[in-house]
Amino acid sequence: MALKLHNTLTRKRETFESLEPGKVGMYTCGPTVYWFAHIGNYRTYLFEDVLRRTLEYLGYKVEHVMNITDVGHLTSDADAGADKMEEGARREGKTVWDIAQFYTDAFFKDMDELNIERPSVVCKATEHVGDMIALTRRLVERGFAYETDEAIYFHVPLFKDYTQLDRQRLEDKAVAVRAEVQEDSQKRYPADFALWFKAIGRFANHIMVWDSPWGKGFPGWHIECSAMSMKYLGETFDIHCGGIDAIPVHHTNEIAQAEAATGKKFVRYWLHGQFLRVDGGKMSKSLGNLYLVDDMKAKGLNPLAFRIMCFSAHYRAHLNFTWEGMASAQSALDSLYDFVREAKRAGDGPEPEWVAEYRSRFKEAIEDDLNMPRAMSAVWDLRGEAYRRQEMNVLPTLYDFDKVLGLKLESIPEEGDLEPELMTLIRDREDARTARDWKRADEIREELASRGISLEDRADGTVWRKLPSEGRE
């Protein structure tokens, strides 16, 4: 079976073929660094991480480019609204440059906690303004952009394939944008979007400005991704990813800019991740459910358990986050870690032949548009089969799977031996269970829990593990 991916551009699952055999150019939209990224953002970054890991697992060399938006943009669909970088600076009493660096560092710290692979190229928007100016000039020269007193605008009606990604009628998109367009806007058409703003008039006090052929100013919201992706991956490349919210405006505008400038197909495969819901609804600061990676850690949860949670749903399906669900994901992660420790204690030896079935199932799952629920089913069934057969020599296969899973199975900490007194209690409980003295068995379980030891009763015996201090009774 070959790798099949759902292409947003064609609305079809297609067999993936890279432009250059054995190599993949992949661009993913990165964060705007005015605040912490939240778990909804990280669900998208995790799906992109699984995509990259899957490509590498299948033998491709991946050139992965991600932008860091550290430029102050106007981020509404109609080039109005607030500059979030300046808002962040006012909120914290810092410069916009300090804000950008602080939240860039915080972003990559969280990425490391979630074991998301670092991109091959991390390109900051502030370091590529010259590339954005060059692309804007190219669009002006080709007649797709026009200059006004306030900005350089892309004239949408001139690009005939403007709605190819979201397939919405252009007339409907214009109506949707019209209500946001400022009364004094000099746009020729409501859906036209800014490539470059001039630092005059309502933008005269904009903090982040650069020299350009049109005077001092700053780039529009969409131009950076087109300019930087083509700089590092070429005018046509393999894969572009992001969240579904980027489809109707940001990614649509990226395509328009790039293809109008080059006359070539911009991206061959577009992949988009679905939203993460929280307690069945949307995330928002006003609801107090805009959770961060640090919120997981504060509850004694391993951020890698969030990977397990994300693997429970396909990346194109909604996923509902709850703290109860995260606790279950943590238990699943602990259970897998316990199995790896047991397998290590069982010693080395050749893998049994029956393991090949699970390798095949796992590979078929990830090649089926990154079907991680099916991939995890292969993992759990492999573990169950090993217990049933009492053949624990399966670590090479699990470690191989972990190239995609990213759960750090080869580096899990050893829990060490328990104090003799605690081991005696565990054996006493096993004796009580054998004697069907359930009251005594429960009393011992509670005693162990109060001392930081969790027990899991399985068909092959009882497994213990140490609880984080937050999880002790």
Please state which of the ranges 51-65, 77-91, 151-165, 227-241 shows the lowest mean pLDDT.
77-91
Which of 1.20.120, 3.30.70, 1.10.730, 1.10.10 would CATH assign to domain 278-411? 1.10.730
Over residues 245-250, the mean pLDDT reads 95
Rounded to whole angstroms, the Cα distance separating 32 from 241 reads 16
Q: What is the mean pLDDT of the chain?
A: 91
pLDDT band, residue 82 (cuts 50/70/90): low
Rounded to whole angstroms, the Cα distance separating 218 from 133 reads 9
The yes-or-no verdict on residue 95 having pLDDT over 90 is no
pLDDT tens for 135-194 read 999 999 999 999 999 999 999 999 999 999 999 988 877 655 544 455 557 899 999 999
pLDDT tens for 409-454 read 998 877 666 677 888 888 899 888 888 899 999 999 988 888 878 8
Over residues 382-387, the mean pLDDT reads 96
- In sequence order, the β-bridge partners of residue 24 are 62
The yes-or-no verdict on residue 74 having pLDDT over 70 is no
pLDDT-above-90 percentage for the chain: 72
Q: Which residues contact 227 (CB under 8 A, 6 or more apart)?
A: 128, 131, 132, 134, 135
The secondary element (H helix, E strand) that includes residue 190 is none
What pairing do the DSSP bridges indicate for beta strands 23-28 and 237-243?
A: parallel
Q: Which residues contact 395 (CB under 8 A, 6 or more apart)?
A: 340, 343, 344
Of 44 and 180, which is predicted with more confidence? 44
CATH 1.10.730-classified regions of the chain: 278-411
Please state which of the ranges 14-18, 33-37, 108-112 shows the lowest mean pLDDT.
33-37
pLDDT tens for 120-132 read 999 999 999 999 9
pLDDT band, residue 348 (cuts 50/70/90): confident
Of 200 and 81, which is predicted with more confidence? 200
The secondary element (H helix, E strand) that includes residue 71 is none
pLDDT band, residue 79 (cuts 50/70/90): low
Rounded to whole angstroms, the Cα distance separating 60 from 273 reads 22
pLDDT band, residue 80 (cuts 50/70/90): low
pLDDT of residue 262: 98
Side chain identity, residue 369: D
The secondary element (H helix, E strand) that includes residue 65 is strand 61-68
- In sequence order, the β-bridge partners of residue 320 are 277
> DSSP of 220-243, one letter per residue?
-SSHHHHHHHHHHH-SSEEEEEEE
With beta carbons less than 8 A apart as the criterion, state whether 19 and 235 touch.
no
Class of CATH domain 19-273: alpha beta
pLDDT tens for 284-300 read 777 778 899 999 999 98
CATH 3.40.50.620-classified regions of the chain: 19-273
Extract the runs of DSSP E, i.e. beta strands, from 191-279. Answer: 193-198, 217-219, 237-243, 267-273, 276-278
